[in-house]
Amino acid sequence: MAAGTKKKQEKGKTLVIVESPAKAKTIEKYLGANYTVKASMGHLIDLPKSRLAIDVDHDFEPEYITVRGRAKLLKELQADAKKADLVLLASDNDREGEAIAYHLRNAIQAKTGDTQIKRIVFNEITPVAIKEAVTQPADINEALVNAQKARRVLDRLVGYNLSPLLWKKVKNGLSAGRVQSVALRLICEREREVEEFIPEEYWTLDADFKKGKSTFTAQLVTWKGEKPVLPNEKAVNELIDQLKQTKAVVVDQKESEKSIRPKPPFTTSKLQQAAANRLGFTSKKTMQIAQQLYEGVNIGNSRIGLITYMRTDSVRISQAALEDVRKWISEHFPKDLPKEAISYTVEKKAQDAHEAIRPTYVTYTPDSIKEYLTRDQLRLYTIIWERFVSSQMNPARSKTISLDIACGDGIFRISGSKIIEKGFYRVIKLLSSKEEKEPSLPNVSVGENLEIVKFYPEQHFTQGPSRYTDATIVKTLEEQGIGRPSTYAPIISVLLERYYVSRSNKQLVPTMLGRMINDMLVEYFPNVVDVGFTATMESKLDQVEENQVRWPQMIREFYDPFIKRVEEVQQSLESYKGSLDEKTDFVCELCGKPMVKKLGRFGYFLACSGFPECKNTKSIPLAKCPRPGCTGDIVARKNKGRGKEFYGCTRYPECDFITHYKPLPINCPKCGQFLVEKYDKKNGTHKACINPDCDYLHSADEEVGSEHDGED
């Protein structure tokens, strides 16, 4: 009797399966006792890692298996499903989420047979959204599943055919990915531009002017009616000598006003860019924290998803959200509420499957919930909240005043802006703009004479192209139509994990290994790493999702010429393996045999040719030690404690020369010592001579260290 009662009580229950335990924990609080919420922990069924598992002769049908280590969890979910009357698959509302739901449905049906299985989707994890979703169950979206399947198959065909080729021809353990290889190409091409750029010296001239007790600084903007050309210190000093003989008079004053429109709420790429620029977050960190905010945070006694789904390329906002934010603005900043809601244009290439990223409840201001969030959660939530609320407020207005001061044939100019109508800036703190921070101008009029106090000549060097950062590579990928919101962060992570790219001062720098892989792919598989071709493939995947293209047909068009090319290269390409080991003039100090230059995971190094009998290795000399009389070489080293790289003399401790700047394979044309690559916030990345007494591309305030603050 008891067993029968128990079975009767269990019937009528609904099993909800989500992707993560955090999401399950949040949703469980919203649903009643008749609901059980479990987590699948992502994909339970996928392609095997050890083989291709794609039937290329029969419509590229993939062979799926239970992911290793996930069989127990799958059995538990199947058992839970048997006890339930209804199973609701609530994985993420995107291609990957739909594929997870599809495989779960098939696996559960195989064991339960008659259990009803439905799909639910939602854009935010709030009580209202979840309760509404469970009342609107639907079927699996087969088109979405096919789009995910097509991407998975496409990437598998590229990776599993190119990687063995790299093992055979270049080096064991290498791999190549379809979209990552395009990103690597962009980074390598930018690096080549950086290296080829030769900086040119130029000078600017500022001057302090005084009226009464007020002193202010202006910059020389024209000389004899043209932009001043000051190529060196001699030229600027000659100009100063002429200016000292003149008087300063205010000759023009201009005022202008401009309207500053608020920006639309965040898409995934724009959030990653803003978090990188404003908060210093990597794309991976941004998405990890956004996931936490989306899945749920404990706010007092309740648990709430604080933001909407964080993988989106749309700036669309729901009507309910618009009404909520307009109500909040009307209560707190009524003068800055537009008569009509502001609408933003969704880009043509956007899939528009989700709303923009926004707070689920605008009443949860950053200040009101800061005690419940970690520092990083609060900072990311703040920029999301500010961007959303400000997007529905009036534009700001700024006034710019510029003064022109004549000194003989020269015109000095000072400009200043100030906000005269704050508008949407009233809610912005972390995202505040330069317009708010400009200094105010002195109170002077046209015709007034000013006292020239002092001249400030300043040396500069022209800046070459900047290396990509997380923010700029994501921006470029988005603009070129490569990747999608869910792939931007993984693209960067994969390149770093494979050590094809490293980070330096937040910049993405290709390694020797990355450059070698890129050179080979560009030469032999130009289509695979072509930006336009990859963007076209992304567009075709979107068409699969929209049921406009059959995915096997799309794959066939790519695969047949691709695999033919792979076979040609397999036959014709000579192995790079022998060429990677270069003979050198260095002799092993342990056994006396010559040393060879080898390419390892972290770049080139020297290894004894007597391997495996002699396993001696050492760093490759990058330059000759610049200390007078020293015969040592400069090599890369690392501190024991922090693992931070620096460059020091091989004759340490006899010679204690070090520098934290990487030596370049370029000698200074003035003094013969080597050039280094420097970085600072003011000048960015630039080249300079290592010799502090040499002025070639060198700033006087930068000096080379001589104390050894670490040992290798």
Contact 181, 521 (CB under 8 A): yes
Q: Tokens in use for 259?
A: 């309207």
Q: Tokens in use for 525?
A: 């598989």
For residue 251, give the H/E element and its range: strand 248-260
Collapsing DSSP states into helix, strand and coil, what is residue 486?
coil
The pLDDT value recorded for residue 661 is 84
Asked whether residue 509 carries a pLDDT value surpassing 60, the answer given is yes
Distance CA 558, CA 565 (A): 11
For residue 271, give the H/E element and its range: helix 268-274
Q: Tokens in use for 419?
A: 């906000």
User: What is 10-140's CATH number, 3.40.50.12780, 3.30.420.80, 3.40.50.140, 3.50.40.10?
Assistant: 3.40.50.140
Q: How many other CB atoms sit within 10 Å of the CB of residue 695?
A: 17
Least Cα distance to 259 among 387, 423, 427, 430 occurs for 423
Q: Tokens in use for 322?
A: 């618009």
Contact 44, 107 (CB under 8 A): yes
The pLDDT value recorded for residue 628 is 86
Q: Tokens in use for 232?
A: 């060196």
Helices (H), 170-232: 178-196
User: Considering the entire predicted model, what is its pTM?
Assistant: 0.81
Q: How many other CB atoms sit within 10 Å of the CB of residue 599?
A: 20
Asked whether residue 702 carries a pLDDT value surpassing 50, the answer given is no
Contact 154, 558 (CB under 8 A): yes
> Where does the pLDDT of residue 643 fall: very low under 50, low under 70, confident under 90, or very high at 90 and above?
low
Collapsing DSSP states into helix, strand and coil, what is residue 152?
helix
Distance CA 585, CA 609 (A): 12
Q: Write the pLDDT tens digit of every residue in 379-424.
A: 999 999 999 999 999 999 998 889 999 999 999 999 888 888 999 9
Least Cα distance to 228 among 402, 463, 407 occurs for 407
Distance CA 255, CA 630 (A): 62
> Where does the pLDDT of residue 440 fall: very low under 50, low under 70, confident under 90, or very high at 90 and above?
low
Contacts of 427 (CB under 8 A, 6+ apart): 333, 386, 389, 390, 393
Asked whether residue 511 carries a pLDDT value surpassing 60, the answer given is yes
Mean of the per-residue pLDDT values of the chain? 87
Question: How many residues in the chain?
Answer: 712
The correct answer on CATH 1.10.290.10 for the domain covering 269-390 is: yes
CA distances from 450 to 79, 242, 249, 443, 445 (A): 87, 17, 6, 12, 11
Handedness of CA 6, 7, 13, 17 (dihedral sign): positive
Answer yes or no: 696 catalytic: no
Contact 494, 155 (CB under 8 A): no
Q: Write the pLDDT tens digit of every residue in 102-143.
A: 999 999 999 887 889 999 999 999 999 999 999 999 999 999
Asked whether residue 699 carries a pLDDT value surpassing 60, the answer given is no
Q: Write the pLDDT tens digit of every residue in 232-281.
A: 999 999 999 999 999 999 999 999 999 999 999 999 999 999 999 999 99
The pLDDT value recorded for residue 5 is 39
The pLDDT value recorded for residue 301 is 87
Least Cα distance to 28 among 289, 377, 308, 305 occurs for 305
Contact 65, 102 (CB under 8 A): no
The pLDDT value recorded for residue 390 is 97
Distance CA 422, CA 428 (A): 10
Who wins on pLDDT, 289 or 165? 289
Contact 475, 481 (CB under 8 A): no
The pLDDT value recorded for residue 464 is 83
Which of 302-316, 641-655, 679-693 has the lowest average pLDDT? 679-693
Q: Which of 30, 102, 309, 381 is catalytic?
A: 309
- Provide the residue type at 217 as one letter: T
Q: Mean pLDDT across the stretch 440-453?
A: 86
Which of 363-377, 497-511, 527-541, 679-693 has the lowest average pLDDT? 679-693
Contact 470, 268 (CB under 8 A): no
Task: Note the CATH number of domain 201-261+396-461.
Answer: 2.70.20.10
> Where does the pLDDT of residue 1 fall: very low under 50, low under 70, confident under 90, or very high at 90 and above?
very low
Contact 316, 356 (CB under 8 A): yes
Asked whether residue 711 carries a pLDDT value surpassing 50, the answer given is no
Asked whether residue 528 carries a pLDDT value surpassing 80, the answer given is yes
Distance CA 368, CA 364 (A): 6
Q: Give the CA radius of gyration of the chain.
A: 31
Return the percentage of the chain with pLDDT > 70, whole number: 90
CA distances from 203 to 206, 237, 528 (A): 10, 10, 45
The pLDDT value recorded for residue 477 is 94
Distance CA 152, CA 146 (A): 10
Q: Tokens in use for 569?
A: 């290269």
- Provide the residue type at 248 as one letter: A
The pLDDT value recorded for residue 382 is 97
> Where does the pLDDT of residue 700 fall: very low under 50, low under 70, confident under 90, or very high at 90 and above?
very low
- Provide the residue type at 43 as one letter: H
Q: Mean pLDDT across the stretch 292-296?
A: 95
- CATH homologous superfamily of 149-196+466-572 equals Topoisomerase I, domain 2 (1.10.460.10)
Distance CA 8, CA 605 (A): 71
The pLDDT value recorded for residue 697 is 65
Distance CA 600, CA 602 (A): 5
Least Cα distance to 710 among 625, 650, 644, 654 occurs for 644
Q: Mean pLDDT across the stretch 462-486?
A: 91
The pLDDT value recorded for residue 636 is 82
Asked whether residue 86 carries a pLDDT value surpassing 70, the answer given is yes
> Where does the pLDDT of residue 662 fall: very low under 50, low under 70, confident under 90, or very high at 90 and above?
confident
Contact 587, 595 (CB under 8 A): yes
Q: How many CA atoms lie within 13 A of 445 on its CB side?
A: 1
Asked whether residue 674 carries a pLDDT value surpassing 90, the answer given is no
Distance CA 318, CA 333 (A): 22
SS3 assignment for 667-700: ECCCCCCEEEEEEECCCEEEEEECCCCCCCCCCC
The pLDDT value recorded for residue 692 is 80
Domain ranges of the chain: 10-140, 149-196+466-572, 201-261+396-461, 269-390, 582-689
Contact 290, 124 (CB under 8 A): no
Which of 191-200, 406-415, 569-578 has the lowest average pLDDT? 569-578
Distance CA 658, CA 625 (A): 9
Q: Write the pLDDT tens digit of every residue in 42-54.
A: 899 999 988 999 9
